[in-house]
């Protein structure tokens, strides 16, 4: 599992490094580079490749799509760290982008990474039918906007220091984190032109994996060590964030996560041997410490 993750991270970084090198250098592209590298775990790309395996999709196409997703993800992290958002000084074990470059450049670097994602998806190097690319671009736009990550972040901020019921917390986390995982999971079915039902089935599996990922993120924030995690921990309590831990407590949140993991694994079992890698990734998500 870790070998596969490392290979996917290496290939994605290779693609992105070359893509950025082709752009005209400026302090802004340097801030974009800083937000992208050294990159994070590339878990979203891993999900894309794992599910791509179930659908027999060409690996190189998935790396390019994963690179676009990682641009959106890096953008969300840069903006998430801004003083007007979660105000974080450390990200991926180094000063966050605005700490290094200042707020204005960090905002612009985030915006530029957002548009870069769509530049990559519409690039000739992604060898897919134009119609498929159009669907991929349309879906990713929706995942990033008010009905997706940005909308989830809005709720995350709005819910601070309030008593928020279970369903609303889950909905917020599904938007903030689940949407992008849902996107990655639905891409292979979209490429295969498999019809709405299959696409939706995989989107739901992915959103649940994203929810599980967010739950483990909250558990790490609660118990993790800042140095090991690469970002400040024990922040959710300080900021009064509405999480499953703030509502149910640590132990019940772990139990909820375990149940969710089993629910997802049951759903993917029917794909037999081909879902082995995805299954391992889900176990990794549950056990991860960073």
Q: Which residues of the shown chain bind ligand GRG in the complex (CB under 6 A)?
A: 40-41, 43, 72-73, 75-77, 79-80, 85, 92, 144, 149-150, 153, 176-177, 213-214, 217
Of 237 and 269, nearer to ligand GRG (C-beta) is 237
Residues 43 and 4 sit within 8 Å (Cβ to Cβ): no
Residues 212 and 177 sit within 8 Å (Cβ to Cβ): no
Please, what is the minimum distance in Å from the beta carbon of residue 255 to ligand GRG? 20
Contacts 24+ apart (CB under 8 A), 145-148: 147/175, 147/179, 148/175, 148/179, 148/180
Please, what is the minimum distance in Å from the beta carbon of residue 246 to ligand GRG? 16
Of 96 and 277, nearer to ligand GRG (C-beta) is 96
Please, what is the minimum distance in Å from the beta carbon of residue 226 to ligand GRG? 14
Please, what is the minimum distance in Å from the beta carbon of residue 62 to ligand GRG? 17
Largest CA distance in the chain: 51
Taking CA atoms, 54 is separated from 92, 179, 262, in Å, by 31, 20, 19
Of 51 and 194, nearer to ligand GRG (C-beta) is 51
Of 52 and 148, nearer to ligand GRG (C-beta) is 148
Please, what is the minimum distance in Å from the beta carbon of residue 127 to ligand GRG? 26
Please, what is the minimum distance in Å from the beta carbon of residue 125 to ligand GRG? 23
Cα–Cα distance measured from residue 135 to residue 249, given in angstroms and rounded to the nearest whole number:
40
Cβ burial of 32 (10 Å; 0-12, 13-18, 19+) is buried
Name the closest residue to ligand GRG (Cβ). 40
Nearest 5°: CA angle at 119, between 115 and 124? 175
Cα–Cα distance measured from residue 78 to residue 196, given in angstroms and rounded to the nearest whole number:
33
Of 61 and 76, nearer to ligand GRG (C-beta) is 76
First vs last Cα of the chain: how many Å apart?
A: 16
Please, what is the minimum distance in Å from the beta carbon of residue 267 to ligand GRG? 22
Cα–Cα distance measured from residue 62 to residue 48, given in angstroms and rounded to the nearest whole number:
7
Residues 128 and 97 sit within 8 Å (Cβ to Cβ): no
Of 61 and 177, nearer to ligand GRG (C-beta) is 177
Of 40 and 95, nearer to ligand GRG (C-beta) is 40
């Amino acid at each position: 599992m870790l070998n596969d993750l490392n290979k996917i991270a290496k290939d994605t970084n290779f693609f992105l490094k070359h893509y950025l090198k082709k752009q005209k250098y400026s302090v802004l592209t340097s801030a974009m580079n800083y937000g992208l590298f050294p990159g994070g775990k590339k878990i979203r790309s891993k999900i894309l490749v794992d599910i791509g395996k179930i659908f027999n999709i060409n690996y190189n196409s998935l790396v390019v799509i994963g690179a676009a997703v990682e641009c959106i993800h890096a953008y969300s992290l840069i903006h998430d760290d801004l003083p007007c958002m979660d105000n974080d000084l450390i990200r991926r074990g180094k000063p966050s982008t605005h700490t290094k470059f200042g707020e204005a450049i960090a905002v612009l670097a985030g915006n530029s990474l957002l548009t870069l994602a769509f530049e990559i998806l519409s690039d000739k190097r992604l060898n897919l039918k134009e119609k498929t690319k159009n669907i991929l671009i349309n879906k990713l736009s929706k995942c990033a906007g008010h009905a997706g990550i940005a909308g989830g972040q809005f709720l995350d901020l709005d819910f601070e220091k309030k008593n928020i019921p279970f369903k609303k917390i889950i909905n917020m986390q599904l938007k903030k984190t689940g949407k992008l995982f849902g996107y990655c999971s639905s891409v292979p079915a979209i490429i295969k032109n498999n019809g709405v039902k299959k696409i939706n089935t995989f989107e739901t599996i992915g959103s649940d994996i994203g929810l599980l990922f967010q739950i483990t993120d909250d558990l790490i924030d609660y118990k993790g060590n800042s140095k090991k995690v690469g970002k400040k921990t024990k922040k959710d309590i300080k900021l009064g964030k509405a999480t499953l831990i703030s509502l149910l407590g640590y132990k019940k949140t772990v139990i909820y996560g375990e149940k969710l993991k089993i629910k997802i694994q049951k759903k993917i079992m029917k794909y037999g041997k081909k879902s082995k890698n995805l299954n391992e990734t889900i176990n990794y998500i549950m056990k991860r410490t960073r």
